[in-house]
Structure 1
Amino acid sequence: MPSKILNISDVSLEIEKTNPLRLLIKAKGTVPTDGWTNGILVPFVYVVPPIDGIYEFDFVADPPTGISTQAISKIDAEFVWEDFPVDLRGIKIYASENSVVTMIDAETKNNLDESSTPSTLRKVTASELLEAKKASNHFSIVNAFVWEKMLEVQVRFGGGCKEHDFELLWDGTQKESFPPIIPLVITHDNNGDPCKAIVIQNLQFDLTDVFGTEIIIELEGWGEKLKM
């Protein structure tokens, strides 16, 4: 029966430029004796995606069944992720005595996001925001986090037959605190989509040009405050 290895010594992430893109995860570690085989990375199964975008794995292998030498030995494992989530920002791998977190670097992030163009926040008046909220079609927020001044939001809605449009709106107000709290609203236009299939879509909003200093985002429909 597979067991966790002793320690993880190194983890690397690499984009394979196939169509679609694939993420290659390579891990190196140690085991307490010789004779360990079949090192693999086992992904965690999530009901709700991790809010920080860090996805977890166990590094396991088959221990020896017979007599083995008590000497620290090396073992490797690879995992090819062909359908990785767009909110992926890092990998955490567990052994029995340690764990290692490896974040996506800037170059790899660009490869992950190359097929999508982030939207920008639109400033509106208080009355325009109220009207936009009244006209918005129903949706729910599944996940939301901020990474390098990019607001990443995963939404769920009914549809499947037409493209749906989402906007991030701000009426210029802020709550007095340090850092200041900025209330933001996402609106949804289903463009008359008659279909009712459950659709999950990932949205990106670039906040770099709007908020140059540290803020806390209060996103309507999401229970946790997001620090930028």
Structure 2
Amino acid sequence: MDRRPPRLRPSGPSSEPADPRPGSSARHDAGAASVEHAGLVLLVALALLAAISSFAAGGGDRSARELGTALTQKIRCAARLSDTCWRDPLTDAYGRSVAGLVRSLAPPPVTVSSGSGPLLPVDFRRCRSVSCSLPGPRSPALTASNRRTSAFVHVIDERGSSGDVTLTYWLYRPTLGWESVVRRATSEQVEAAAATPLLDSDVPVLVPLETLPGRNHFRFAEGEEPPWRWEVVG
């Protein structure tokens, strides 16, 4: 006969058994801490972004505002993680205020007559023949090959010596060569145009010669030699 006392059940409220795996509690705490840390970093970044944006839009001298704008862009790009963070090449080359001026004064696409028909200005790196420079049927800003018109830009900023900003837009058309359009602006005009929107879809596409890789070493047909070769510093 079994004389062992009966097993007693706990009289208190039932509870789930603790996880017997070693270190499980520590891993849970570490995971929670990681989430809290990420949230704190994001909060600090947003606060810093707001402060820099306010500074970039308001007080400070021109160079300080451009620095604020650059920092704002960097923080925004980092927050997008794996997304592509497009940055206007004009801003990279000239700073935000001059970039706005360059965009605001860009000449609209205009055709020029040739022996093969009217030609639009194009990017010589992608088009060297008449066929891809002809205007397309969809829009006066698009070529027959469905590409946006282009212009190459050279900027001389003499505001530091009480001068103006000189913008030269170089337009290339196959078989016709190069045409230049020159604009000048005062410091006040630069500031007034600084907020001009800079979009990836803008027409014409503007290419800064100062940051164009290998700009002095492209080969051209006779009669199409660029006048800006070896003349651009940057």
Give the TM-score normalised by the residue count of structure 1: 0.26
Greater fraction of residues in strand: 1
Computing the radius of gyration over CA atoms, which structure comes out larger, 1 or 2?
2
Q: Which structure: greater helix fraction?
A: 2
TM-score (norm 2): 0.26
